[in-house]
Structure formats: C-alpha cells, structure tokens
Amino acid sequence: MSNKIILTGDRPTGCLHLGHYVGSLISRVNLQHQYKQFVMIADWQALTDNSENPEKVRNNVIEVALDYLAVGIDPKLTTIFIQSQVTELAELTLYYLNLVTMARLGRNPTVKSEMQQKGYANNNTPAGFYMYPISQAADITAFMANVVPVGEDQLPVIEQTNEIVRKFNSIYGPTLIEAQALLAKTSRLPGLDGKAKMSKSLNNAIFLSDSQDELKRKIMSMYTDSQHLKISDKGKIEGNMVFTYLDAFDSDKAEVAKLKEHYAAGGLGDVKLKNYLFEVLNNILTPIRNKRLELAQNINDVYAVLFNGSAQAKEVAQQTLENVRNAIGINYAKNK
Amino acid sequence: MSNKIILTGDRPTGCLHLGHYVGSLISRVNLQHQYKQFVMIADWQALTDNSENPEKVRNNVIEVALDYLAVGIDPKLTTIFIQSQVTELAELTLYYLNLVTMARLGRNPTVKSEMQQKGYANNNTPAGFYMYPISQAADITAFMANVVPVGEDQLPVIEQTNEIVRKFNSIYGPTLIEAQALLAKTSRLPGLDGKAKMSKSLNNAIFLSDSQDELKRKIMSMYTDSQHLKISDKGKIEGNMVFTYLDAFDSDKAEVAKLKEHYAAGGLGDVKLKNYLFEVLNNILTPIRNKRLELAQNINDVYAVLFNGSAQAKEVAQQTLENVRNAIGINYAKNK
C-alpha cells in the first residue's frame, strides 16, 4: 500500500447502477488496497442543482452508502463520508472563490456541457451549480488527495483544482498539493435503450438494488437489433446492448465469442440470449443484492459507518484548513 | 431597549476615518442602547478583493477594533466579532448560492458600481467578490437581524438578502426572517480634497487614529476656495471643505453661521478658519485618540474582546445553521 491518497465519490441523486459498477465501484474496491482512499457522498454538490428537492438528496445518501458497502467498499480500508458533515469544505470553497475569475469559471467545459444537459441557460443557472468546480477543488485539496479517478469529461475539474493550488501556493506560500487524474480505463456503459449513458433520469438503468424480477424485466426490454425479427434472422452485434453488456460483464470471453458468431449467423433468439445475460448479471448482482438487504436491516449501523467516516474526514480537513488559515494569516488566536 | 437585532460592520482594509465616524460610528454608539447590536469585522469580505494582500486585511482587523472601542462601541452592549471566526457563515453562503441564479447575481447594482470603482471588468472579477452579496445575506440572516443600517447605495444588499429569505422559506418552510434597511440620515462626508468620498485609497481622509500634528497638517491642506487668495477677498462657502466639515462637526451652529458670513464678505483668512476647524475636530478626536492609545497598550485585551464577541456570535449563528440544516433536511444525525 502506498502512502498516496485518493479521493472519489458520487452525488446522492439516485441509487447506483451497473454503469457506476463498471465505471468506478469495482476499481474503488481494488484501489482501497493500494491507497488511503476517501469516498465522499457529495450531498452539497447534489444540492447545487437540486435545491428545490432536498428530500431526493437526503434519501439517497443512505442508498448510495448501502451500494458502497454492498459492493465491498470496506470502511476499515476506505473512509466513507458525507460532504456536508465536513463543514471545513465550505470555508475552503470561499477562499478559493477569491482566486478564480468569473471568466475562468465560465470557461469550464464540464459545467458548460452539464448546463446544457440540465437545460440551464446562462441566465437561470444556480450560482452554486455554476461554481461547483471550486467546491470540488476544496474537496480534493482538503484531503491532500494525490490522485482523483475521473472520466475523460471530468479532466477540467482536476485542471481547475491544480490552477487554484498553484495560485494559492504562489500567494500564500507552499500549502496545498496538486492532484493527478486517474483516467478510468473502462468506456462508459450505455443504457438499456442503447443511449450513450446509463442514468436514472433516462430510465434506462439497472440498479445494484434491483430485485431479480426487475433485473429480468429490464433485460427482456433491452435494445438488441430491430431487424432481428425471427430466430433464424441474422442478427447484428454492433449496437446490440446485450452483447455490449456481455462484453462488459461476462468473464467467459470464449462463450461470448461463440454467442456472437451464432447470433450473427442466425438461429439464436433474443430471449435465449437475454436469458444468458440474465444469468451472467444475476450471478454478479445476487451477492451484492443480498448484502444490501442484510445491511438495510440495521440502517443505524450504516449511519454509524457514515458518521464515523465523516469524523475521520473532518479531522483531516481541519488540519488542511488550519494550514490554509495560517498561510493566509487569519488564524488570529495563533498569530496575534 | 427593544428585542430587535441590528447587524452592521466594516471591511478591515484600513483604519476608520471621520467619514465612518459621522456615517456610522456615532449612530452605532446610540443604537447599542436600543437594539441587540452585532458589529462584524468583515475580513472574509475584505479578502474577496484583497486575496493577494492578506496582510492588509489581517493587520486592519485590530485597527478597526481599536477604532470601535475608542469611539465608545461598548462590548458589554454590542457583540463585536470577526467574520472568519464564525465559520457557520461559509456554510450558509453555500446554501444560499443554490437559490440565486447567475443572472440575478449579475444584476446587483452595488457590485456593478464597485467593480467599476475597482477597475474590474466582467472578466477579471474574482468570483468571490462577484458573489459577496450572497455572503452578506448569510451574515444578515445568521444573526436573525431585523435591521441593517445602510447607505442608499447598499439598499440592493437588503433586497437580495430578503429575496433569498423568501425563496428559502418557500422551499424549506419558514426558517429565516427578512431584514429592514435603516437608511443613514447623514449625507456622505467628502474628502479633504473635496472629492465625493473620504477614503484611505484616495488619500484624502482624516483618521480617528491621526495624531494632533497629522490632524493639523491635513486640515491645513484642505480645499477651500481657489479664488480666495488674499484675506480681504470674498470667499465661497459652497464646496469649501472647511465649512462642509464645520457643518458636520461643530455643534455651535450660530458660530458657524457667523464665520460663513464673515468669510463670504471677505476679511477672514483660510489659516484662521482652519485653525478654528482644527479646534473643533481636535476636541472631538482627542478623547478618541487618547482612548485608542490606551487600548493599544494592552492589545491582548482587545483580542480578548474580539474572541469573546466571536464566540457569542458563533453561538447565535450555530443555532441558525442548525435550523437551516433541519429545514433542508440534511441534519442526518438528528433526522435519521
């Protein structure tokens, strides 16, 4: 295990799904053996575009925590915490906002494209949302994170953070450290409908918490090949979500290759193919689902994990904030 | 004494001067008998456009505190505190930023005109400065202030605050209260040079901390009437700073009227007139100056006043923040 620190997390706006599983959760379960890992449930960040729907954020904090624990993120190895419980992050955000110009804020391509997705014009974007990259810089620097796993589209977050770090250090003296992006190796998992992204809001997701029946129903609804009407028809592999998912989740690559050949040649029906995918996914999801149900029996224990993790995280952030205040010179009690 | 709460304060970017004295300090000394008064030394707000010069902010915190105590703001009646010591204000600011659109932020005329004064274009304005009215809304609401003394030009601050209060209450239920502006009765004191505003940066100010010699020197440099060359010349009253200051500070209105008449008719020299003004101002400033020198002997006692006030302020802000968190529903430990 290295001494390096890794920070990652999710906005609690929904249960986690298979896209999260391949995109980040599996890797977190591995990374917790290599790094000191912090995983943040970013309720403040979720509120930046859900201010009118705080219940959603609130309720999903515990759902996300259940998902984390169910997949094997281990609180003995990973500090799982709730962003809002580490109030030091708010103060850091304020200091960093002074180091960023309005023009620079407006140039963040991640925020721009998210604004578009969410239907925000320049005008009606909540100010908190517009500046959430600065709040992320606070998250990353507060834990002195060396490494932050990101998708390609989130690279600007790291860039913005490191700009703030350099500016801060150049004005106030060496205090903060720059972070490195750890680019996700897996490509993004598309939705059941073949759309580019699996997401709750697009209603095309398989959740880690889905029951066996839901899993079956969703797989049966998956997009395959709209020209593949009869079993004997030749079928397309490319763009066929069942094969995309098999590529992503079936470790038996030889079997997948055989199925592709059969499907392409004709003679393999969608239902049979989907039943096969169901077996593959159900094998992966059953232990997660069971563990999740078990954890949900003692929800107070899950809260205890979160509060405990938040207390640990707070201790680290407090130290950073003290360094920051000393550097700026406004720790009056100390410096008078 | 009413149960009403009043919040006011200053950015610690320089010692306080006669403009502050007539514009706000005298009235605070009176108001502390009528209200529960909080006076904030707004170091965070000062940093929003002084991020590269934190020493200035830091050093002036204690200067401003000395000015407060020297003029008679009484820590037994008034809670004097340092903004950055009430960290709850940062968290409130984050919540409020979610309730304000970027368009609304950009419409604040106070910020717009200050940007112009400071030579900020839309581009290079620090984000923290651009949104400082939201941080002010946090200050005002944190103390449940009913009344906020403002100049005409700061009315938009109160408007913005009350908009946030109404939005917050409409989403999360009645939690915060609206504030009323208390408009300053006195008009703004011009500088020694006759410019509209007395200010440190314009180098046209008489500070409460100025020595007797500095006071004399500054008064002798005051702008009177550029056509009044010989003692026998008729002199102008309007735009003559000596008379503007006499109007503002001399309680002997009959004597001022006589001097005006004499000056207008000719025969009253500038030096004699300025010596008279010196006597008037020195009578006001001597007890303040002496008190200030006395306080500065025991600077730790002044810090103690600030820390004590900050602790009191923190207690109030903590309660408000708890109400806010409960309203939003993210006080997990409480609501689980």
Residues A110 and A217 in one domain: no
Does B302 contact A at CB distance below 8 Å?
Answer: no
Residue in A with minimal Cα distance to B135: A94
* pLDDT mean values, one per 10 residues, chain B (336 residues): 90 96 95 97 97 96 98 98 98 98 93 90 91 97 96 90 98 98 85 86 92 96 88 92 95 96 94 97 98 97 97 98 96 73
A330–B58 CB contact, under 8 Å? yes
Find how far residue A272's CA is from the centre of its chain. Answer: 33
- pLDDT bracket for residue A197 (50, 70, 90): confident
Q: Which chain A residues touch B87 with a CB distance below 8 Å? A: 87-88, 90-91
The interface pTM score, or ipTM, of the predicted complex is 0.94
Residues A312 and A166 in one domain: yes
- Residue B318, in any domain of the structure: yes
Record the pTM: 0.94
Tokens of A211: 């029951």
pLDDT for residue B335: 58
B132: Cβ–Cβ under 8 A, 6 or more apart, which residues? B45, B48, B111
Residues A310 and A254 in one domain: no
Mean pLDDT of chain A: 94
- Residue B205, in any domain of the structure: no
Tokens of B318: 């903590």
Q: Which chain B residues touch A127 with a CB distance below 8 Å? A: 97-98, 100-102, 104-105, 131, 134
- pLDDT bracket for residue A26 (50, 70, 90): very high
Residue in B with minimal Cα distance to A305: B333
pLDDT for residue B154: 87
Residues B14 and B112 in one domain: yes
Give the integer Cα–Cα distance in Å for A335 and A329.
Answer: 7
Count of A–B CB contacts within 8 Å? 167
Find how far residue B33's CA is from the centre of its chain. Answer: 19
- Residue B116, in any domain of the structure: yes
**Residues A113-128 pLDDT 10s:** 899 988 898 789 999 9
Residues B234 and B268 in one domain: yes
Q: Which chain B residues touch A99 with a CB distance below 8 Å? A: 51, 126, 128
**Residues A151-175 pLDDT 10s:** 888 899 999 999 999 999 999 999 9
Residues B235 and B131 in one domain: no
Q: Indicate left, alpha or beta for B2 from its phi (over 0: left) and psi (-120 to 50: alpha).
A: beta
- Residue B129, in any domain of the structure: yes
Does B63 contact A at CB distance below 8 Å?
Answer: no
pLDDT for residue A336: 55
pLDDT for residue A333: 78
Residues B256 and B310 in one domain: no
CATH number of the domain residue A26 falls in? 3.40.50.620
Residues B183 and B233 in one domain: no
- Residue B287, in any domain of the structure: yes
Is the CB of residue B137 less than 8 Å from the CB of residue B324?
no
Sheet holding A180-183, edge to edge: A78-82, A36-41, A5-10, A147-150, A180-183
Residue in B with minimal Cα distance to A52: B171
pLDDT for residue A12: 97
Q: Which chain B residues touch A94 with a CB distance below 8 Å? A: 44, 90, 93, 128, 135
Is the CB of residue B23 less than 8 Å from the CB of residue B151?
yes
CATH number of the domain residue A244 falls in? 1.10.240.10
Residue in B with minimal Cα distance to A104: B123
Is the CB of residue B41 less than 8 Å from the CB of residue B303?
no
- Residue A107, in any domain of the structure: yes
Give the integer Cα–Cα distance in Å for B163 and B158.
Answer: 9
pLDDT for residue A121: 83
Nearest to A62 by CA among A313, A314, A309, A306: A306
pLDDT for residue B223: 87
pLDDT for residue B123: 82
Q: Which chain B residues touch A49 with a CB distance below 8 Å? A: 98
**Can you give the residue range of the structural domain that contains A87?**
5-189+298-335
Q: How many domains does chain A have?
A: 2
- pLDDT bracket for residue A335 (50, 70, 90): low
Write the burial class of residue B182 (CB in 10 Å: 0-12 exposed, 13-18 middle, 19+ buried).
Answer: middle
Q: Indicate left, alpha or beta for B9 from its phi (over 0: left) and psi (-120 to 50: alpha).
A: left
pLDDT for residue B1: 66
Residues A25 and A52 in one domain: yes
Q: How many CB atoms lie within 10 A of CB A175?
A: 17
Residues A55 and A116 in one domain: yes
B54–A300 CB contact, under 8 Å? no
- The radius of gyration of chain B from alpha carbons, rounded to an integer in Å, stands at 22
- Residue A205, in any domain of the structure: no
Residues B163 and B105 in one domain: yes
Q: In chain B, how many H helices and how many E strands?
A: 16, 5
Q: Which residue has the tokens 């059953």?
A: A286
Does B336 contact A at CB distance below 8 Å?
Answer: yes
**Residues A96-149 pLDDT 10s:** 999 999 999 999 998 998 999 888 987 899 999 999 999 999 999 999 999 999
**Residues A247-282 pLDDT 10s:** 999 999 999 999 999 999 999 999 999 999 999 999
- Residue B200, in any domain of the structure: no
B102–A127 CB contact, under 8 Å? yes
B94–A328 CB contact, under 8 Å? no
Write the burial class of residue B265 (CB in 10 Å: 0-12 exposed, 13-18 middle, 19+ buried).
Answer: exposed
A55–B336 CB contact, under 8 Å? no
Residues A313 and A289 in one domain: no
Most A CBs within 10 A among B43, B47, B51, B130, hence the mutation to make, goes to B51
